[in-house]
Amino acid sequence: MSNQDPLVVFTPSGKRGRFPVGTPVLTAARQLGVDLDSVCGGRGICSKCQITPGYGEFSKHGVTARDGALSDWNALEARYDEKRGLKQGRRLGCQAKVQGDIVIDVPPESQVHRQVVRKAASARVIEMDPATRLYYIVVDEPDMHTPTGDLERVARALKDQWEIDKITCEFPVLTQLQTTLRKGKWAITVALHKTSATATPSIIAAWPGLHEKGLYGLAIDLGSTTVAAHLTNLDTGEVVASSGIMNPQIRFGEDLMSRVSYAMMNPGGDHEMTRAVRDAINTLAEEIAKEAGIETNLILETVFVCNPVMHHLLLGIDPVELGQAPFALATSDHLNLTARDLDLTTLPASAQIYLLPCIAGHVGADAAAVALSEQPGKSDDLVLIVDVGTNAEILLGNTSRVLACSSPTGPAFEGAQISSGQRAAPGAIEAIRIDPVTREPRFRVIGCDKWSDEDGFWDETAASGITGICGSGIIEAVAELRIAGLLDPSGLIGSAAQTGTDRCFAEGRTNAYLIHDATAEGGPRITVTQGDIRAIQLAKSALYAGARLLMDEMGVDVVDRVVLAGAFGAHISAKHAMVLGMIPDVPLDKVSSAGNAAGTGARIALCNLAARAEIERTVRQITKVETAIEPRFQEHFVAANAIPHATDPFPELGKVVTLPVVGFNTQGDGSDGGRVRRRKRG
Amino acid sequence: MSNQDPLVVFTPSGKRGRFPVGTPVLTAARQLGVDLDSVCGGRGICSKCQITPGYGEFSKHGVTARDGALSDWNALEARYDEKRGLKQGRRLGCQAKVQGDIVIDVPPESQVHRQVVRKAASARVIEMDPATRLYYIVVDEPDMHTPTGDLERVARALKDQWEIDKITCEFPVLTQLQTTLRKGKWAITVALHKTSATATPSIIAAWPGLHEKGLYGLAIDLGSTTVAAHLTNLDTGEVVASSGIMNPQIRFGEDLMSRVSYAMMNPGGDHEMTRAVRDAINTLAEEIAKEAGIETNLILETVFVCNPVMHHLLLGIDPVELGQAPFALATSDHLNLTARDLDLTTLPASAQIYLLPCIAGHVGADAAAVALSEQPGKSDDLVLIVDVGTNAEILLGNTSRVLACSSPTGPAFEGAQISSGQRAAPGAIEAIRIDPVTREPRFRVIGCDKWSDEDGFWDETAASGITGICGSGIIEAVAELRIAGLLDPSGLIGSAAQTGTDRCFAEGRTNAYLIHDATAEGGPRITVTQGDIRAIQLAKSALYAGARLLMDEMGVDVVDRVVLAGAFGAHISAKHAMVLGMIPDVPLDKVSSAGNAAGTGARIALCNLAARAEIERTVRQITKVETAIEPRFQEHFVAANAIPHATDPFPELGKVVTLPVVGFNTQGDGSDGGRVRRRKRG
């Protein structure tokens, strides 16, 4: 290129260079390293390389682009426009040739590495850098005089047409390659997968001609209770369908340890659980593809995040070692497998599976995914990230250091083992307020935006009824009982006499609080029992003790901010969580929700190969703290039993909520309880 | 090491060096790169590193080794000797420590790269360089405070104890790793497999403690008619069992092209044939392991050699492209697969499969194996190698160039499509002589060393009877008929009148020759019919025409020597083959048999990783000649129809055999045949 050659400036990258007249825009972009997509390799058929030329004077770039700075619209562009429609002002980068100085804008959808904005609350974007990409190639026909195999000629085409030096081919694809080549009349599209930026790419799928149906991936958050999947277009990053099902392993045990016990007590029990979860994933994949209207054979990648027990059971590894100290994982590294390895028969046999690394025997790939999504190691302030589920994963860190642990909260936070508990579904109470004066409750149920004391609530909920309390509802209920003075710091519900309301009623030797009696409508009596309070206390104590243990290890008494992760975290009210003493005291506006951060981490790993390398590196730098063997955990646990806490001050909470000082213990001190006085805590 | 340090000289390598007093012999050997085996890594338990110290004066090495030049016999050596017995004069290299100047002999069985002499006629030895090796390691126990996975600690042990930097693990092994480690109390033996010298090794098996049951591999010659397997000890190279079975695909078609047709005509027919051959291999593996008294889970490698159609059907690739020009292979490169890929369920799922590369669509991995075994590219003189089977693979070459083709001989050479033909089994005539004067035959049958005119022959063959003619028998019979003047150069058998013997009798409009009438004993009438002669003529013409085509391509009229390969080649008499005109004229002592060269090539590839790299490189340099599209092939074929040949002189044959000039054609020239005169040909 000489100084007389036309100047081409690409936006938004700003990359620029001079190219001889007649150079296709795609060629210029490639030479400059501009991120301009192409599947067909410049043959004018895939339309991935669309660009928008800019004409006129661009003083910012020092360029004046005149009419005729690009070659005229050609036959291929006309044909594409006729068949599919080309947006106004767009050209095909491989057909439009440079004739004079020009500014070329690469729209986001023509960039391979475009950014995808997450729908979730947090503003983090996912940059597309997929492990699997499509390449259209024209393959030499076989020739008896130079008798190479079809695969070897495919490899040569990739080298000649895409400068891809060396490839391998998944065996199931190889067995069908000849048919595909002949169907495509020697033009095919191959999907090349790389397990890392430097790995040899492998052909994991091939289609006759130009493949235009897209490529998809599943990001699966394999939880003890639910299996959630996001079907993602690997080209655009768009989530085209989301679906969740119950983990069928529940029939073998509600929580992780009961499943490990099942495997220990029943020979072959681990295999049963493995089969159950794989069957479920097969079903889930089929359903989600159907929902999105795609064929399952387009799902070429799946990323799993899960806790260590789910991880081992998915892989077909007996989880027995995870049930006892020292909680040894079979492997802690990330894994690259195929659908065939895991009997995921709904997916193509050569579909690629990626499992994020585990952090430790109790801190799994789900915690790694949270770390990938929330990046505590890149936070300037000290952030505590809590992923609330049947087990809580807790991360604490900043740019200097990241710590992690897992804490056995049990399923109470998910509404399980709660007398009126139920899953989050229409009819479930998800929010509740108790008037501190009248001690009367008002509430909101899933499926209706109104509060129960608003006009129209009862009409709108007539269909679903009021059926129970979900996880966020029970947390609010316990916290509101405490705020209203119906529950003392030790977790005792007062009697009707002690509290002055009939909503508190005796149930055996303890008291309960009636939220709503739906028996007239054929529904249940929805109450909060003393047993429910105990279950929540155990769960929140475990969570808080885990967080405290990490804070001890870090040598701090306060954290700067708290991130609540987990599908459930999205629905927890920060104030109520803190009244309960689930999380350490921070200003309320420093508590945020990250939504399903583990699921987001899975999506990031699905869409971005570099992110996989990053988390593989990061987990090695995370310090693991083992709650099960740490004596201080027990101390923290006991101290955290009180609501909000026996000893830790909650000064920030005290600024917004005044908790009544009450005590309903009639055994020890003979106090008859009742509200004594309100005071600011801290 | 200093000049005062003791001098250690290893034999037979001659490697020498000075080492500080107290250095274990194994350590010294490793530092010098002496080939001394060890599985346990110097722990004194595997006994692989046995050496024989030499004491006294070794003027050749300039060393005087005094008593005490090695440390005293220690407790581990004593224990090993007591339990297993150590040969007189032997020491364990890892236990014996250098104390003074010493000469150390490394016996062959302690060398990894020892040479294994083949039983077969050819003297070529196989050097051991197995792709899979055993490593005994002691693995750190898991520790909650540094929670790495078990696999990661296995990797660390291999690095610390064997300097193996990076490994992967086959997924089926990973799922069982925790159990193995705990059974072995953290000491295990892993089998590490490398697909090439530079590839990352992969754990393909693991056993608790020191694995002492050995490692085995199968070398399988997968032919159209038979499947032959050699079970080989991958440590010693010893063939511990050999076994063969019929290829069950025969029920879908006798020869390759009829199987391809079956696949073309019957939807799913290729899958049926794939299943049939895989089932057969499973059975074969089971039987051969039983015969050798080992468990099939010790068979960790299998090498296949086969023609392209068998290759594709084994892999589950529709062979239809191989049935029509341009005979495109799905892949011509070598393949590394696992037993699981091929549904070889008798073998461990992670057992490694290696397929040699194919040379072309008609010249398969079996021809590549012959090239590996017979090394035409390293021959100074021009060698023609003929692998006779249902298809003949032909190689011609020397150090300057190697050519290859395949020729469709059909199954006549194997006794199929011959009226009295049968497989090589007791009772089959394998050799025959016809007296040129009396025209009476005498013969030998398989299972008896005597000729039929020797005393005791009939007694000894009474049990088997005389049941038919096998492949080598039919070749001899046709050649002997020609030598005795009962068959003319065009391939016509004379009548009783023309030949003066009643053994020639009319059968329809042609004549046949009676070898033996066993009807009295309830056996068959064994004859050579005119149809048999035609079948042999077609087969031998194809073979000869293929050889000539290669000679044309090479620009020569004669070759220096001929190697007959194939199980059948071992039994062909060179003289009779040349009378028949199967092979070009060379001095008879320049015709040798290589036995089952393809099978030998498979064994070499099984035992030697470098040999795999060599043949992968070599096949790319072989010039393929396609017989099916070459017009000259047809010309050569027609000219080769005569016995021995219509136009080519056979001067070397003429030096040892005088063929009578006869003609029994009564149609065209009215000649009534009979012996006219004997003359020397050429």
Domain of A52: which CATH number? 3.10.20.30
Chain A: closest CA distance from residue B91 (Å): 39
> What residues in A contact B143, CB-CB < 8 Å?
326
DSSP A421: B
Cβ-defined contact of A149 to B329 (cutoff 8 Å): yes
For A503-523, what is the mean pLDDT?
93
Q: How far is CA A330 from CA A130, A265, A323, B149, B354, in A?
A: 28, 20, 13, 5, 29
User: Could you tell me which chain B residue has the CA closest to the CA of A627?
Assistant: B144
According to the model, what pLDDT value does residue A672 have?
43
Cβ-defined contact of B330 to A151 (cutoff 8 Å): yes
In a domain, A668, yes or no: no
CB A510 within 8 A of CB A554: no
Say if residue A283's pLDDT is above 90: yes
Name the amino acid, one letter, at B27.
T
Chain B: closest CA distance from residue A142 (Å): 6
User: Could you tell me which chain A residue has the CA closest to the CA of B336?
Assistant: A171
Cβ-defined contact of B152 to A332 (cutoff 8 Å): yes
> What residues in A contact B199, CB-CB < 8 Å?
none
> Do A461 and A515 share a domain, yes or no?
yes
According to the model, what pLDDT value does residue A664 have?
92
The mean pLDDT of chain A is 91
Choose, out of A166, A171, A182, the residue to mutate when testing the contact with B (most B CBs < 10 Å).
A171
Place of tokens 């035992």: B607
Q: What is the mean pLDDT of each run of 10 residues along chain B (682 residues)?
A: 86 93 95 91 90 92 93 91 89 95 92 68 71 96 88 97 96 97 97 96 97 95 90 92 90 86 93 96 96 96 96 97 91 96 97 96 92 95 90 93 90 83 87 95 94 94 91 93 96 95 94 94 92 95 95 96 83 90 94 89 95 95 87 93 93 93 73 43 40
User: Could you tell me which chain A residue has the CA closest to the CA of B182?
Assistant: A321
Burial class (CB in 10 A: 0-12, 13-18, 19+), A315: buried
> What residues in A contact B330, CB-CB < 8 Å?
149-151, 174-175, 177-178
Cβ-defined contact of B329 to A175 (cutoff 8 Å): no
In a domain, A282, yes or no: no
Cβ-defined contact of B330 to A177 (cutoff 8 Å): yes
Q: What are phi and psi of A111, to 5 degrees?
A: -95, 135
CA dist A611 and B589 (Å) reads: 69
Q: How far is CA A239 from CA A219, A289, A566, A622, in A?
A: 10, 12, 18, 30
> Do B320 and B338 share a domain, yes or no?
yes
In a domain, A483, yes or no: yes
ipTM of predicted complex: 0.86
For A277-296, what is the mean pLDDT?
96
CA dist B86 and B90 (Å) reads: 6
User: How big is chain A by its Cα radius of gyration, in Å?
Assistant: 30
According to the model, what pLDDT value does residue A134 have?
96
CA dist A456 and B484 (Å) reads: 116
According to the model, what pLDDT value does residue A512 have?
97
In a domain, B253, yes or no: yes
According to the model, what pLDDT value does residue B667 have?
63
DSSP A651: H
Say if residue A123's pLDDT is above 50: no
Q: What are phi and psi of A59, to 5 degrees?
A: -65, -35
* Chain B positions touching chain A (beta carbons under 8 Å): 141-145, 147-152, 169, 171, 174-175, 177-179, 315-318, 321, 325-333, 337, 341, 358-361, 624, 626, 628-629
> Do A378 and A402 share a domain, yes or no?
yes
For A190-201, what is the mean pLDDT?
96
Cβ-defined contact of A142 to B327 (cutoff 8 Å): yes
Choose, out of B154, B166, B168, B175, the residue to mutate when testing the contact with A (most A CBs < 10 Å).
B175
Half-sphere exposure in the Cβ direction for B201 (13 Å, CA):
23
> What residues in B contact A151, CB-CB < 8 Å?
330-333
Q: How many CB atoms lie within 10 A of CB B379?
A: 17
Q: How do residues A85-119 score in pLDDT, each as one tens digit?
A: 889 999 999 999 999 999 999 998 898 887 775 44
User: Could you tell me which chain A residue has the CA closest to the CA of B361?
Assistant: A147
Q: How many CB atoms lie within 10 A of CB A245?
A: 15
According to the model, what pLDDT value does residue A566 have?
78
> Do B501 and B557 share a domain, yes or no?
no
User: Could you tell me which chain A residue has the CA closest to the CA of B313?
Assistant: A175
According to the model, what pLDDT value does residue B682 have?
37
Q: How many CB atoms lie within 10 A of CB B634?
A: 11
Which of B144, B315, B360 is facing A175, going by the closest CB pair? B315
Cβ-defined contact of B315 to A149 (cutoff 8 Å): no
Lowest-confidence segment of A63-67, A245-249, A674-678, B104-108 by average pLDDT: A674-678
For A346-367, what is the mean pLDDT?
94
Contacting residues for A159 by C-beta, under 8 A, at least 6 apart:
A165
In a domain, A589, yes or no: yes
CA dist A55 and A104 (Å) reads: 9
CA dist B602 and B620 (Å) reads: 18
In a domain, B1, yes or no: no
Place of tokens 């005293």: B72
> What residues in A contact B329, CB-CB < 8 Å?
147-150
- Positive/negative CA dihedral, B596, B601, B604, B605: negative
Name the amino acid, one letter, at B102.
I
> Do B450 and B479 share a domain, yes or no?
yes
Chain B: closest CA distance from residue A642 (Å): 30
Count how many domains chain B has. Answer: 5
Cβ-defined contact of A315 to B358 (cutoff 8 Å): no
Cβ-defined contact of A626 to B144 (cutoff 8 Å): yes
> Do A477 and A570 share a domain, yes or no?
no
Which of B147, B177, B318 is facing A330, going by the closest CB pair? B177
Which of B171, B332, B624 is facing A152, going by the closest CB pair? B332
Which of B142, B330, B337 is facing A150, going by the closest CB pair? B330
> Do B404 and B544 share a domain, yes or no?
yes
CA dist A63 and A43 (Å) reads: 29
DSSP A460: H
Cβ-defined contact of A331 to B151 (cutoff 8 Å): yes
According to the model, what pLDDT value does residue A662 have?
92
According to the model, what pLDDT value does residue A667 have?
63
In a domain, B286, yes or no: yes
For A121-125, what is the mean pLDDT?
52
> What residues in B contact A360, CB-CB < 8 Å?
144, 147
Choose, out of A148, A167, A183, A273, the residue to mutate when testing the contact with B (most B CBs < 10 Å).
A148
Closest CA to A281 of A316, A332, A329: A316
> What residues in B contact A327, CB-CB < 8 Å?
142, 144, 147
Chain B: closest CA distance from residue A301 (Å): 18
Cβ-defined contact of B147 to A329 (cutoff 8 Å): yes
Higher pLDDT, A43 or B204: B204
Cβ-defined contact of B332 to A177 (cutoff 8 Å): no
- The 3-state secondary structure of B529-554 reads CHHHHHHHHHHHHHHHHHHHHHHHHH
> Do B151 and B252 share a domain, yes or no?
no
Percent of chain A with pLDDT over 90: 75
Place of tokens 């000469």: B103
CA dist B395 and B622 (Å) reads: 9
Name the amino acid, one letter, at A515.
I
> What residues in B contact A149, CB-CB < 8 Å?
328-333, 358
> Do A539 and A523 share a domain, yes or no?
no
> Do A657 and A574 share a domain, yes or no?
yes
Q: How many residues are there in chain B?
A: 682
> Do B222 and B346 share a domain, yes or no?
yes
According to the model, what pLDDT value does residue B124 have?
60
CB A300 within 8 A of CB A234: yes
> Do A543 and A654 share a domain, yes or no?
yes
> What residues in A contact B334, CB-CB < 8 Å?
none
Higher pLDDT, A284 or B325: A284
In a domain, A120, yes or no: no
Cβ-defined contact of A317 to B147 (cutoff 8 Å): no
Name the amino acid, one letter, at B613.
A
Lowest-confidence segment of A457-461, A584-588, B125-129, B615-619 by average pLDDT: B125-129
> What residues in B contact A141, CB-CB < 8 Å?
326
According to the model, what pLDDT value does residue A681 have?
42
What range does the domain containing A636 cover? 368-411+535-661
Number of inter-chain CB pairs under 8 A, A vs B: 130
Cβ-defined contact of B150 to A331 (cutoff 8 Å): yes
| DSSP codes joined into one string, A532-554 | HHHHHHHHHHHHHHHHHHHHHHH
Q: What are phi and psi of B50, to 5 degrees?
A: -60, 135
Which of B152, B179, B628 is facing A331, going by the closest CB pair? B152
Place of tokens 């929010």: A431
According to the model, what pLDDT value does residue A676 have?
41
Angle between helices A171-183 and A150-162 (to 10 degrees): 80
Which H or E run contains A179? Answer: helix A171-183
Cβ-defined contact of B341 to A144 (cutoff 8 Å): no
